[in-house]
Amino acid sequence: MQHFKTLSSFIDYLGLPRPEHPMFSVFNSKGDGYLPCPRESSPPITNDCYTISFKKYVEGNLNYGRTKYDFTNGALIFIAPRQVLQWDNSVVFERKGFSINFHEDFLKGTELAQQIKKYGFFSYSVNEALHLSPKEEKQIESIVNNIEIEYQNNQDAFSKEIIISQLGTLFKYANRFYERQFINRKEISNDLLEQFKQHITEYFESGQLQEKGIPNIEQISDKMSVSQRYLSDTLKKETGKTTTEHLHLHLINEAKNILLKPNKSISEVAYELGFEYPQYFSRLFKKKEGISPTEYREKYKLN
């Protein structure tokens, strides 16, 4: 797999003009000029750059990580360093759109370098892209236009600070718009929750807890064809609990049933639930229930 360490080498690969800054570039086609991604096809590649792209009209299959997505609507896509990208000549990009690319070192020493790690949408797959309303699109385009103006100006001591400030604003709006998207797609959110519960139930009932241990959230999300971060963010918005918290609830409910069997020790209960260390099971149980597994068993006996 080919990896690009610099922004310039990545931009050259795409066939776009060399950037005005060695670690930052903006391409805003506005209906003419260069396309955000003019290269017709590509095998899997990775790079050390962040990318924010808005594709106004897109057709074809674009591979992002392990996910294929066929879409024909405009979408705002966020890509983090070292994520795998691949596309073929079936992908058609409308001329209207923009692409912001910057090396991860561009943010070094700034507050945004830490803040950007908190934005889950950089770990979302293409089929979890942000679909903007016309009003939202105008707001994002306004920010990008400001970034482009500063990018095209003669660079001075304030240029980087202003661009990074505008990037921070763009990310905050994107976060707000994703909140709206989660609410508007409530049916999808409910479906994801039911799918997640079903996968956990099937895993428990198949006896894999004892054989393979506690299920891995990433494995479950892969089976559901969604990214781990998007699944967790969606469930958090819908239920107030993350995927891990939902998994723990299932484990505790199972534990309560098994604890009622007097012939099993606390350690045996823990191993049956897939815990490698009984102490971890006891800590988790007490954290969720307020009492230890032993105290729960004694309390039930008294009742």
CATH number at residue 260: 1.10.10.60
144 and 69 in one domain? yes
Place of tokens 């709006």: 173
Q: Which of 162, 184, 206 is the last residue of a domain?
A: 184
Are the C-beta atoms of residues 133 and 3 closer than 8 Å to each other? no
258 and 161 in one domain? no
What mean pLDDT comes out for the span 219-246? 87
What rounded mean pLDDT belongs to the chain? 83
Residue among 237, 203, 245 nearest 220 (CA): 203
pTM of the complete model: 0.71
Are the C-beta atoms of residues 78 and 100 closer than 8 Å to each other? no
pLDDT: is 42 or 150 the higher one?
A: 150
Query: According to the model, what pLDDT value does residue 150 have?
Result: 92
Query: According to the model, what pLDDT value does residue 252 have?
Result: 92
Q: For the ranges 11-15, 122-126, 146-150, 161-165, which has the lowest average pLDDT? A: 122-126
pLDDT: is 87 or 274 the higher one?
A: 274
223 and 100 in one domain? no
211 and 152 in one domain? no
265 and 137 in one domain? no
248 and 202 in one domain? yes
Counting Cα atoms < 13 Å in the Cβ hemisphere of 180 gives 12
196 and 60 in one domain? no
Query: According to the model, what pLDDT value does residue 302 have?
Result: 54
Q: Is the pLDDT score of 237 beyond 70?
A: yes
91 and 217 in one domain? no
Look up residue 276 and give its DSSP letter: S
Query: According to the model, what pLDDT value does residue 47 have?
Result: 95
Residue 209 binned pLDDT confidence (cut-offs 50, 70, 90): confident
Q: Are strands 2-4 and 42-47 parallel, antiparallel or unpaired?
A: parallel
What mean pLDDT comes out for the span 258-265? 84
Q: Are strands 97-103 and 49-55 parallel, antiparallel or unpaired?
A: antiparallel
Domain hosting residue 64, numbered range: 2-184
Residue 37 binned pLDDT confidence (cut-offs 50, 70, 90): low
Query: According to the model, what pLDDT value does residue 69 have?
Result: 36
Name the most confidently modeled range: 185-194, 240-249, 293-302. 240-249
* Burial status of residue 187 (CB atoms within 10 A of its CB: 0-12, 13-18, 19 or more): exposed
What mean pLDDT comes out for the span 217-221? 88
Q: Is the pLDDT score of 99 beyond 60?
A: yes
CATH of the domain at 64: 2.60.120.280
Strands ordered across the beta sheet of 67-70: 2-4, 42-47, 85-87, 61-64, 67-70
Q: Extract the tokens encoding 57.
A: 């009209």
Which tens digit of pLDDT belongs to each residue from 41-98?
Answer: 788 899 999 999 887 655 555 544 434 433 345 688 999 999 888 877 665 555 578 8
Q: Which of 149, 184, 219 is the last residue of a domain?
A: 184
Query: According to the model, what pLDDT value does residue 264 have?
Result: 86
Rounded Cα gap, residues 268 and 272, in angstroms: 6
206 and 143 in one domain? no
Phi, psi of 17 (to 5 degrees): -60, 150
Rounded Cα gap, residues 157 and 63, in angstroms: 39
Query: According to the model, what pLDDT value does residue 212 have?
Result: 85
Rounded Cα gap, residues 99 and 165, in angstroms: 17
51 and 155 in one domain? yes
What mean pLDDT comes out for the span 124-143? 86
Q: Which of 184, 213, 231 is the last residue of a domain?
A: 184
217 and 162 in one domain? no
Q: For the ranges 13-27, 67-81, 104-118, 235-249, which has the lowest average pLDDT? A: 67-81
Percent above pLDDT 90 for the chain: 36
What mean pLDDT comes out for the span 157-181? 93
Are the C-beta atoms of residues 57 and 120 closer than 8 Å to each other? no
Look up residue 128 and give its DSSP letter: G
73 and 14 in one domain? yes
Q: How many domains does the chain divide into?
A: 2
